[in-house]
Structure 1
Amino acid sequence: MQRRMISEILDGRSLVTASKDMTVRAACRQMTERKIGALLVVDNDRIAGIFTERDVLNKILSAGADPDVTRVDQVMVRDPQTIGVDKPLAYALYMMAEGGFRHVPVVDRNGAPVGMVSARDALGQDMVDLEREMKHLNELEGSIGY
């Protein structure tokens, strides 16, 4: 299987961000509209944090906080781990597995945010590869007479 690079995965994707003073409800609407599970929180062209579905569940809903008055910077994960755009996706997946999270912000050489990869990104091509391998195995078994 070929190594998928983060730059290839982000190709054609736009950077979706939130501001620190955005309300949780506004951030949730943005995630819903864009069909994404996390937002990069950017301040002065630098990543200040990451706001995820888990933050909504654990820090807003479970805590009984008001999403209309709670700001993203009150519940975001500050200074998240990042990965360079020039790295293989496997590196990001390893970071996610070790850290227990599902999203990794991606930065360029200068540390500026360029996107985000998620555990879901790994499923795309891997599922295609798995289907191809399963079809091939079925064809082999059929030709042998199993």
Structure 2
Amino acid sequence: MDDILVGRLMSTTLHTVSPETLVERAAQKMLANDVGSLVVIESDNQLAGILTTTDFVSIVAERRPKDETPVKTYMTTDVVTASAQDSIRDVSDTMIEHGFHHIPVVDETTGVIGMISSTDLTAYLSHIQTPSPS
């Protein structure tokens, strides 16, 4: 598993919003695309943060008007990222250590290029594992 790199497993279909997107619109986008996170990007495709379903617990608890509150109010800005050249073992360890389910994949010049999720890792493992004997 050490020789498998994030770039091989990451999703390149990204669901993104800007920091100014209203949380109501962000929630609609997450539901419509059946995703647990949105990558928050600046106009130059650079990572600004991440908004996850967990963040919506705070949104609901604080009862702010969802049609008036921008994503930047709740997004995580201190985001742990990966590069396409990172090993999936390292990324898996990071996910377990921090309890993350999604890690944005970034390139120094291009910005956000993908997302690696616990679902991506599980799908990979299910294909390489041999079934247990009956």
TM range (shorter): 0.7 to 0.9
State the shift of 1:20 in Å.
0.5
Relative to total residues, which structure has the larger helix share, 1 or 2? 1
Count of matched residue positions in the alignment of Structure 1 and Structure 2: 133
**1:23-102 pair list within 5 angstroms:** 23-43=22-42, 44-57=44-57, 59-102=58-101
Relative contact order, higher structure (CA 8 A, sep 6+): 2
- Contact 1:37–1:53, Cα closer than 8 Å, also in 2: yes
Give the superposed CA RMSD.
1.9
CA distance in 1, matches of 2:4, 2:35: 21
Larger Rg: 1
State the shift of 1:50 in Å.
0.4
- Contact 2:10–2:117, Cα closer than 8 Å, also in 1: no
Q: TM-score, normalised by structure 1?
A: 0.80
State the shift of 1:31 in Å.
1.3
State the shift of 1:2 in Å.
7.4
Structure 2 gaps, min length 5: none
Q: Deviations over 1:96-121 (max 9, x none)?
A: 12222221110124361101111121
State the shift of 1:18 in Å.
0.7
Q: TM-score, normalised by structure 2?
A: 0.87
CA distance in 2, matches of 1:69, 1:106: 30
- Contact 1:16–1:39, Cα closer than 8 Å, also in 2: yes
